[in-house]
Amino acid sequence: MQERETPANTGDKDKTGNESKENVLAQNSSDVSQAKPRIGDTRPAPDSKKASQKASESGNRRRRKRRKGKSANNNPNSLVSGAISDERVELDAETLKKRRGRERKGKAVGRYTMVVHVDEGITQIATLEGRSLIEFFVSRPSDDVSEIHGNIYMGKVENVLPGMEAAFVDIGTPKNAVLYQSDLATGEHGKKNELVRIENVLKNKESVMCQVTKNPIAHKGARLTQEISLAGRFVVLVPNSSTFGISKRLPERERKRLRQILEKAKPAEHGIILRTAAQHITKEEIEQDVNRLLDQWRSIEATASKSKSPALLYREPEMPFRIIREEFNKEYRSVVVDDLSLFEEAKTYLESIAPALAERIEYHDPDSQSVPLFERFYINEQLAKALDSKVWLPSGGSLIIEHTEALTVIDVNTGKNVGTSSLEETVYRNNLEAAKEVAHQLRLRDIGGIIVIDFVDMEIPKHKEDVMKTFRGELARDKTRTQVFGISELGLVEMTRKRIGEGLKQTFQKAQE
């Protein structure tokens, strides 16, 4: 799960228009079982027989079940994991104090809380802002097939379709993945910004290295790119690229400081993007992150040279660790985990990437606590409401959210909100509430694709501008890319949101199976 940053000097291709292309049926291919390495282990994955033997020895203990999903790797000992270096940069007491964030009466203070619940091998992750649920994720044991975002494969081209400007690639998952012409690494076949035909670059049965940018959804296979990127805590390495960028979320003064560091730390043959998490980070920490990613890339290249396609070359860390890497900062009050094995592993992981925040991870013992973890934070209640098509607004208005195959429609109603002064004022206030809640629901329900919102009609132009300003401001807090148009003559707002997963409803249903 990589952070969706917008670098200063690199463009971000809008691929929303390709959604319709992905309805092409993919071909099936077989899988091979894969043993999984530990997070933070710099060694190769263990032999699958030894791994299964070790798991059986600890069968009676209450331990989190390891993921045994299927993968395409035909050589388990060569798989590269998203390892974290054991080397740490020593920081002085003053720096550590600044990074620990705010405290009140000895307790951490923050805007967000991450809650991680493990049950029979299924990991459920909820993010709260205050007491309000804003994001929900599920990681299952079979996620080597369905949760493969960020994984790198040596794939085999099965079919090149010039008419679709795409190719189907066998990466060892049940459905072949799709690689579009816009996601090719042209190399010697063409210059930058020059249109290159996919049939001139790829041939049937050819082996290609590629990375998953979108998980398989329903009948659609995964989406691939040849523009590989490796994410660290502070840096994103873009191999064989001239990319040079710094997150636009950082203030200008900090960007200037980081630019000077980046010019010296950037490898000559690879591109670098500094993430938002790099704010106030030292030169030594950035250099360490770059060196670790370079070692990771060299290992991937070495593995690729010995692998027979289809093969899994690199697996992203499991979802809890990806979210900690991407999201966790001093704005989080705590990470609460109810599985001892995962708690110990996550604490070690957090100590390696953010030692100043390692104390903010807590263990919720389900045996000694009278209330289950999700009930303690009222998560189950909020999930039940998020699965309902009707959402109530504070003043009595409501939203009706309906999903179709082509798009999602959201209708805004005044409902019980009768106002006090005038109809225009009542509608205006109702729409302002709706704008905030729609942005919240899009993020919580993970709604992607085309979205049409029918706000209640307003007559005053300034009111329309205020509603759109509020809506765009709330969407800016969502790291998933969105594109919003103004209110049309029919009073409709058309927008798109990048489709990353299957959505909350499908995710929750899978967790209950």
For 255-303, write each residue's pLDDT tens digit: 999 999 988 889 989 999 999 888 888 888 899 899 999 999 999 999 9
Which residue carries 């070790």 as its tokens? Answer: 54
Per-residue pLDDT tens for 386-431?
Answer: 989 999 999 999 999 999 888 999 999 998 888 888 999 999 999 9
Are residues 356 and 277 in contact, defined by beta-carbon separation less than 8 angstroms? no
Amino acid 350: pLDDT: 86
Are residues 223 and 250 in contact, defined by beta-carbon separation less than 8 angstroms? no
Burial label for 366, CB within 10 Å (0-12, 13-18, 19+), is middle
- pTM for this one? 0.75
Query: Does domain 230-315 correspond to CATH entry 3.30.230?
Result: yes
Q: What is the mean pLDDT of the chain?
A: 81
Sign, CA dihedral 364-366-367-368, equals positive
Fold observed for domain 151-189+196-225: OB fold (Dihydrolipoamide Acetyltransferase, E2P) (2.40.50)
In one-letter notation, the amino acid at residue 375 is: E
Nearest CA among 133, 128, 124, 480 for reference residue 332: 128
Amino acid 117: pLDDT: 94
d(CA 241, CA 297): 13
- Which spans in 270-318 are helix H? 283-306
Helix (H), strand (E), coil (C) string for 96-154: HHHHCCCEECCEECCCEEEEEEEECCEEEEEEEECCEEEEEEEECCCHHHHCCCCCEEE
Highest CATH level, class, for 388-510: alpha beta
Amino acid 329: pLDDT: 86
Are residues 147 and 140 in contact, defined by beta-carbon separation less than 8 angstroms? yes
DSSP symbol at 370: S
Amino acid 489: pLDDT: 85
The token pair at 15 is 């691929």
Amino acid 513: pLDDT: 61
Per-residue pLDDT tens for 329-348?
Answer: 888 999 999 999 999 998 98
What is the residue extent of each domain of the chain? 85-140+319-377, 151-189+196-225, 230-315, 388-510
Fold observed for domain 85-140+319-377: Nucleotidyltransferase; domain 5 (3.30.420)
Those residues of the chain that have pLDDT short of 70 are 1-98, 141-144, 186-194, 510-513
In one-letter notation, the amino acid at residue 489 is: E
Q: CA angle, corner 217, sides to 212 and 221, nearest 5?
A: 55
